[in-house]
Amino acid sequence: MCGIVGAVAQRNVQGILLEGLKRLEYRGYDSAGLAVLGRDGRLSRRRALGKVAALEARLAEFPLAGHSGIAHTRWATHGRPSEENAHPHQSGDRLAVVHNGIIENHEILRGELEAAGYGFASETDTEVIAHLIEREAREGDLLQAVRRVLARLDGAYALGVIHADEPDVVIGARKGSPLVVGVGIEEAFLASDPLALLQVTDRFIYLEEGDVVRLSPGGRVEVLDAAGTAVERPVQTFEHGDGAASKGDYRHFMLKEIHEQPAVIAAALEGRLGERSVLVESFGPDAEALFARVKQIHLVACGTSYHAGMVARYWLERYAGVPVQVEVASEYRYRRVVVPEDTLFVTLSQSGETADTLAALRFAKELGYLGSLAICNVPGSSLVRESDLTLMTQAGPEIGVASTKAFTTQLVALTLLTLALGRVRGQDADEQATLVEALRRLPGQVARVLALDPAIEALSAAFAEKYHALFLGRGAHFPVALEGALKLKEISYIHAEAYPAGELKHGPLALVDGEMPVIAVAPNDELLEKLKSNLQEVRARGGELFVFADEQVALADGEGVRVLRLPHVEDALAPILYTVPLQLLAYHVAVLKGTDVDQPRNLAKSVTVE
């Protein structure tokens, strides 16, 4: 998704902006650009189609110099990926704008501007913003000009604006798309994500919806809220450190993040477990009273987070006795939802900025829920700020577009929610104590699964030449199979589908032959025998089977059957453990195929548009 960087500094900002763009590459994009203002008020811009490296090469040949500037990575929405459509967009040679989001009324505005004599150089919705601000700024005061224009925009945006008449100023604004201010020493910065600025500061102001900000020399930061009133927003220190944004010794961020799972799962549990039960207080002081009233849960999310929600439904119904409905946010928000009395609304999101999930939360607030809980990985994100209760997943920054550690820590957070609800609703104390004990063992078991990496890598060769793959699971492992299929298609571009194994004979069996590898998730649970029969159905049709099974299960390698054994784990936690080999399998297949593992084509880390 588009990324914004801006700076007003004591030095040439080109390097800061370029480094910021590199750090935002993980969000997914197709072109990049940068504009700076010289002290003499001269506006200069460079843009390039493709990777930030292409922009960097252009800047090496034609460098820019200026103490204020804005930069952008674009993920095409209006208009194809091209240099003309890349940001910053200019109006004349004095004003430049970068924009993340979608302006819904851009056609009407474009018509109005064309009638007034403005020419358009791109197909983007953003260019209307540039011309509108240029027109308003003729009356002086860039910040007020921006505010007048914002009042005319329908849709979502984060903006960065520079103007030759105010050469040491950058204006930022946000509504519906994230934007933070980096507070430096006598310098100030703007970015879509704190990670973009960790090389220059670890202190951030998280702008609120409707805020407009002026950065000016000496590190001056002035924030106006949606009503135009000057406000002080708190400065928060970013706690994850900059190390999280580097690959270390790993070839890809995704591999590093897969291997971080034992540590981050331990972090997600820290301070949340008592001796024999979960600490309900870790959800906040109001949690206990609220949880005692919960009769139903509606769980809403997108992508990988949605799969976490699907797993949680099995847990919440089995251990807490609470009926759960799970839905993708983009469907939920447009449905006439009936909310039974005392229903808790839960959102799941690694980024906390997914447009559909955020819109679902805002929609839900009008529907009479008991309250809202966000399970999220990014402190200070919009979802966290707008929810009644929050549970942070503590995975640290995740850079690979394909979510791995964010997913498994979401599952951990969801087991904690299950136990917290179970506890206030009278779950058997011994059952709770067994699960708490199993949670404590989980990081070690995940580490044992990671040690199987070479064996999983060896399996990957069987997939690299295939066009399709089928994933099977039963019960809570059906969503795990869905997640395995999603990982494979996201990064290796192999078409993969997942089915509850019992559905095989109702359709997908027709596809099974020697060219269709079938991956089965086979923990030692009550559905194992049924799963084994489903696997026979595959073998009988010549399908090649790859089975991830419990070490205690009597399943043997044979012709067309490869079995990989995982440590035995408490039933309830098996979905977390069995996710890990599927992540590794997708990773190794993608590496063999030579795809861009951390930034797969057409995808974005955080989808901040609808």
Rounded Cα–Cα distance for residues 237 and 235 (Å): 7
Q: Which is nearer to ligand G6P, 128 or 401 (CB)?
A: 401
Three-class SS state of 58 = helix
Shortest approach of ligand G6P to residue 391 CB, angstroms?
14
Question: By CB under 6 A, is residue 603 in contact with ligand G6P?
Answer: yes
Chain position whose Cβ is nearest to ligand G6P: 303
Q: Which is nearer to ligand G6P, 200 or 268 (CB)?
A: 268
Shortest approach of ligand G6P to residue 343 CB, angstroms?
21
Size of the site for ligand G6P (CB under 6 A): 16
Encoding tokens for residue 480? Answer: 């795990």
Task: Determine the number of helices (DSSP H) and then strands (DSSP E) in the chain.
Answer: 18, 25
Identify whether the C-beta of residue 416 lies closer than 8 Å to the C-beta of residue 291: no
Q: Which is nearer to ligand G6P, 564 or 607 (CB)?
A: 607
Encoding tokens for residue 601? Answer: 């084509």
The residue annotated as part of the active site, out of 22, 51, 489, 605, is 605
Identify whether the C-beta of residue 579 lies closer than 8 Å to the C-beta of residue 72: no
Rounded Cα–Cα distance for residues 183 and 326 (Å): 40
- Give phi and psi for 555, each to the nearest 5: -130, 135
Name the one range near ligand G6P by CB under 6 A: 62-70, 237-245, 351-359, 556-564.
351-359
Name the one range near ligand G6P by CB under 6 A: 65-73, 348-356, 412-420, 547-555.
348-356
Q: Which is nearer to ligand G6P, 88 or 352 (CB)?
A: 352
Candidate residues 73, 354, 579, 599; the one interacting with ligand G6P per rule CB under 6 A: 354
Shortest approach of ligand G6P to residue 101 CB, angstroms?
16
Non-local CB neighbours of 542 within 8 Å, separated by 6+ positions: 512, 513, 514, 560
Q: Which is nearer to ligand G6P, 354 or 534 (CB)?
A: 354
Shortest approach of ligand G6P to residue 400 CB, angstroms?
9
Non-local CB neighbours of 324 within 8 Å, separated by 6+ positions: 296, 297, 298, 299, 312, 313, 316, 317
Name the one range near ligand G6P by CB under 6 A: 165-173, 251-259, 501-509, 599-607.
599-607
Identify whether the C-beta of residue 409 lies closer than 8 Å to the C-beta of residue 383: no
Non-local CB neighbours of 158 within 8 Å, separated by 6+ positions: 4, 99, 100, 101, 172, 173, 174, 175, 177, 178, 179, 192, 608
Q: What is the 3-state secondary structure (H, E, C) of 71-92?
A: EEEECCCCCCCCCCCCCCEEEC
Candidate residues 349, 408, 445, 599; the one interacting with ligand G6P per rule CB under 6 A: 349
How many beta carbons lie within 10 A of that of residue 593, not counting itself? 16
Encoding tokens for residue 262? Answer: 């034992």
Candidate residues 91, 201, 351, 394; the one interacting with ligand G6P per rule CB under 6 A: 351
Encoding tokens for residue 337? Answer: 């939802």
Quick note: the x/- pattern for ligand G6P over 78-107, rule CB under 6 A, is ------------------------------
Shortest approach of ligand G6P to residue 75 CB, angstroms?
11
The residue to which tokens 């200019």 are assigned: 90
Rounded Cα–Cα distance for residues 555 and 567 (Å): 14
Q: Which is nearer to ligand G6P, 85 or 349 (CB)?
A: 349
What letter represents residue 373's amino acid? L
Question: Can 2 be counted among the known catalytic residues?
Answer: yes
Shortest approach of ligand G6P to residue 600 CB, angstroms?
8
Quick note: the x/- pattern for ligand G6P over 389-428, rule CB under 6 A, is ------------x-x-------------------------
The residue annotated as part of the active site, out of 2, 175, 376, 489, is 2
Identify whether the C-beta of residue 180 lies closer than 8 Å to the C-beta of residue 3: no
Name the one range near ligand G6P by CB under 6 A: 59-67, 258-266, 542-550, 597-605.
597-605
What are the start-end ranges of the E strands in 448-552? 468-473, 495-500, 518-522, 545-550
Question: Can 605 be counted among the known catalytic residues?
Answer: yes
Question: By CB under 6 A, is residue 330 in contact with ligand G6P?
Answer: no
Q: Which is nearer to ligand G6P, 329 or 344 (CB)?
A: 329
Identify whether the C-beta of residue 254 lies closer than 8 Å to the C-beta of residue 587: yes
Name the one range near ligand G6P by CB under 6 A: 106-114, 263-271, 286-294, 345-353.
345-353
Name the one range near ligand G6P by CB under 6 A: 45-53, 146-154, 350-358, 384-392.
350-358
Three-class SS state of 366 = coil
Q: Which is nearer to ligand G6P, 180 or 302 (CB)?
A: 302
Shortest approach of ligand G6P to residue 604 CB, angstroms?
6
Question: By CB under 6 A, is residue 357 in contact with ligand G6P?
Answer: yes
Task: List residues bridging with 373 in a β-sheet.
Answer: 346, 389
Shortest approach of ligand G6P to residue 606 CB, angstroms?
5
Name the one range near ligand G6P by CB under 6 A: 109-117, 344-352, 509-517, 553-561.
344-352
Task: List residues bridging with 558 in a β-sheet.
Answer: 561
Cα–Cα nearest to 419, from 523, 274, 205, 545: 274
Q: How far is CA 590 from the centre of its chain?
A: 20
Antiparallel, parallel or unpaired: β 212-216 and 220-224: antiparallel
The residue to which tokens 């394909």 are assigned: 402
Candidate residues 599, 606, 608, 609; the one interacting with ligand G6P per rule CB under 6 A: 606
Q: Which is nearer to ligand G6P, 351 or 432 (CB)?
A: 351
DSSP state of 235: P
Quick note: the x/- pattern for ligand G6P over 275-314, rule CB under 6 A, is ---------------------------xxxx---------
Give the C-alpha distances (Å, rounded to integers) separating 504 from 495, 499, 512, 549, 557.
17, 7, 10, 19, 22
Binding footprint of ligand G6P on the chain (CB under 6 A): 302-305, 349-351, 354, 357, 401, 403, 603-607
The set of catalytic residues is 2, 605
